[in-house]
Amino acid sequence: MARDSVYGERIIHAERPGEIVPTALERGATWLLGTAAMITALLAVAAAVTIDAEVQGLVAFAAWCASLGVAVRLVPQLWHQGAELLVTARHVVWSRGGFRRSIDRAQISFARIHWYPGGSGRGDLELVRDVPTGALRRKLSITFRGVAHPDRLWELIRSGDVSHLDDRAPARPVGARLPVGERVVWTEKTRASWRDFVPERRRDLAACLLGVSVAVAVVWVAPRAVAAARGALDAGVAPTSLGFLALAGSLALTVALLFGTAAALVWSSIVAPGLRAGRTRYVITDQRVLIASWRDELLIDRSRIVDVIASARVDGHHDLFLVIDGPSSRGVTVSGAFEEGPPGELMPVLRGIVDVDDARRLLVG
């Protein structure tokens, strides 16, 4: 049996990523940079044709935006596709050439899974290890992208055995994909409310305000773009000339870029969290806590949970924050429950719970 070159431990599983689906951030950055490159290139054409101006700077900036957009889209995929995922007797290792990241299997606080669309059974697996609050407060996380059946890989990491699992795609609900012998003891779905569409986190509120500001900019810019096009026509530029078409195209793309940015910010800060709240299910088994929302899942072993904090909401429901204690630390941390993670990222919190007493009793007795 092969052994890891650094730890000298027996390798029980090795895998290389398959097809990797870009994240929403990577797709958004690619579209933003690509549109900026097109706007700049069209402005360069308009300036060169109509007023015979020097456009080397505009061309260089357009090329830079286009190159950066391609890099944002391709570099993460090439970087992760060249990696190797190793599960040893005690560690999980992400390795690419001489670069390695590892995490102790016994010290993983929880895992997140993001399933790829299409029912391919592939997705991203993120392993999170939290360190206690205070001077040593930090978070270690490793993400394995393009993994085949990340739920099976996580089960292998946490238990060392997947022989009791069925090889099934994620089309089945999370509660129906449990290992043999593990049973559901409690489940509840978030009660949707209009309040779910009101941003509460500082990051969501800031994104919402920024989106509104960009929307105001669209209202301010659009009439001036039309006025600029009319000014060019009044100056004698033919409406069918290359210069005018390039100018009109750049102005239209500018307005579209601002509108799209405003819509994306409002969607990510208001609409998506509200829709997600109504599609989130919480499952407590005799071994774990599972949170499933759309194509995302968060999985925590109940042995990691040392306490829960119930916070009452104005609608009469409760948010149940899970307090997690890491092994070899003996310090209690909320493991990100009160932090503001990236938009759409599941946190170890049960939100909008009605049956809060039974859930708390099951988790901490």
What pTM was estimated for this model as a whole?
0.84
Average pLDDT of 115-135?
Answer: 78
* Among the ranges given (28-42, 126-140, 198-212), the one the predictor scored with the smallest mean pLDDT: 126-140
**Predicted pLDDT at 158:** 87
Distance, in Å, from the CA atom of 291 to the CA atom of 350, rounded to the nearest integer, reads 8
Q: What percent of the chain has pLDDT over 70?
A: 87
Task: Write a three-state SS string for 141-184.
Answer: EEEEEEEECHHHHHHHHHHCCCCCCCCCCCCCCHHHCCCCCCCE
**Predicted pLDDT at 54:** 87
Half-sphere exposure of 212 (CA within 13 A, CB side): 7
**Predicted pLDDT at 126:** 93
pLDDT per position as a tens digit, 233-267:
888 888 889 999 999 999 999 999 999 999 999 99
Nearest in space to 288 (alpha carbons), one of 298, 276, 277, 278: 298
184 burial (CB, 10 Å; 0-12 / 13-18 / 19+) is: middle
pLDDT per position as a tens digit, 68-92:
999 999 999 999 998 999 898 889 9
**Predicted pLDDT at 112:** 93
pLDDT per position as a tens digit, 314-350:
777 888 888 887 655 444 444 444 555 555 678 888 8
Phi-psi bin for 18: left (phi > 0), alpha (psi -120 to 50), beta? beta
**DSSP code for 10:** B
What are residue 179's DSSP bridge partners? none
Average pLDDT of 58-69?
Answer: 96
200-220 b/e (C-beta count within 10 Å ≥ 16 → b): eeeebeebbeebeebbeebee
**Predicted pLDDT at 324:** 81
Kindly report the number of other CB atoms within 10 A of residue 52's CB atom. Answer: 8
pLDDT per position as a tens digit, 128-187:
887 655 444 556 789 999 998 898 899 889 887 666 565 555 556 777 777 778 889 999
Which of the four pLDDT bands, split at 50, 70 and 90, describes residue 197? confident
Fold designation for 108-159+176-191+278-364? PH-domain like (2.30.29)
175: phi then psi, degrees, rounded to nearest 5: -70, -20
* Residue found under tokens 């601002």: 258
The residue with greater pLDDT, 52 or 195, is 52
Average pLDDT of 51-71?
Answer: 93
**Predicted pLDDT at 332:** 45
Average pLDDT, the chain: 84
**Predicted pLDDT at 136:** 46
Half-sphere exposure of 243 (CA within 13 A, CB side): 14
Q: What percent of the chain has pLDDT over 90?
A: 40
* 16 neighbors 94 (Cβ within 8 angstroms): no
* 36 neighbors 257 (Cβ within 8 angstroms): yes
